[in-house]
Chains A and B, each alone.
Chain A
Amino acid sequence: EPEVTQTPSHQVTQMGQEVILRCVPISNHLYFYWYRQILGQKVEFLVSFYNNEISEKSEIFDDQFSVERPDGSNFTLKIRSTKLEDSAMYFCASSGLRNTEAFFGQGTRLTVV
Chain B
Amino acid sequence: GENVEQHPSTLSVQEGDSAVIKCTYSDSASNYFPWYKQELGKGPQLIIDIRSNVGEKKDQRIAVTLNKTAKHFSLHITETQPEDSAVYFCAAKEGNTPLVFGKGTRLSVIA
Binding site for B on A (CB under 8 A): 4, 6, 31, 33, 35, 41-45, 48, 50, 55-56, 58, 91, 99-107
Residues from chain A with a CB closer than 8 A to the CB of B91 are 43
- The count of residues in chain B whose C-beta lies closer than 8 Å to any C-beta of chain A is 23
Would you call A42 and B96 a contact (CB within 8 A)? no
B45 touches which of A31, A33, A55, A104 (Cβ 8 Å): A104
Contact B46 A102 (CB under 8 A): yes
Question: In the complex, A35→B38 CA distance in Å?
Answer: 14
Report the Cα distance A50→B93, complex, angstroms.
Answer: 17
> Quick one: which of A33, A91, A104 contacts B98, CB cutoff 8 A?
A33
Say whether B44 contacts A91, CB under 8 Å. Answer: yes
- Let me know if B49 and A43 touch, CB within 8 A: no
